[in-house]
Amino acid sequence: MSEVRLKSEIWVKAQLRLCDQNFMPAVVARRGDADAGQVLVKVIQSRTDCELLARRFDADGRRVWMVVALGGEGECDAYIARESNIDPDLWVLEIEDMQRRYLPDGEAPLRHS
């Protein structure tokens, strides 16, 4: 049975609303395909810390959020630039989360070991 997927634009709008409700500034930095564009979430955690989240598949084949870039904004922006050269349908959502409360879809993202 295949997973029911929400349209990218609707998911992004929902995240913007959640961030607004939780007093976390958020902006769409790049608009992609409304129906099925991949979404990267850039979470700015301080003046020097940033993490970039993307949906991936885990070892069991489940879709999970994973940290794909970590460090300063430069590392996150470099990853975004590479991905946007490959995928013109890419969305980028930027969230300022100095208190580190943001959980995409209510899930803690997986980190590389």
Residues 77-105: pLDDT tens digits?
999 999 999 999 999 999 999 999 999 88
The reported pLDDT for the residue numbered 87 is 95
If you average pLDDT over every residue of the chain, what do you get? 91
How far does CA 72 lie from the centroid of its chain? 16
> Stretch 26-51: mean pLDDT, rounded?
95
**Distance (Å) of CA 48 to CA 5, 53, 84, 91:** 34, 17, 23, 23
Q: How far apart are CA 45 and CA 67, in angstroms?
A: 13
More confident residue, 59 or 20: 20
For each of the domains in the chain, give its residue range(s) and CATH number, in order of start.
8-99 (3.40.1530.20)
Block residue for tokens 């961030």: 19
- pTM value is 0.90
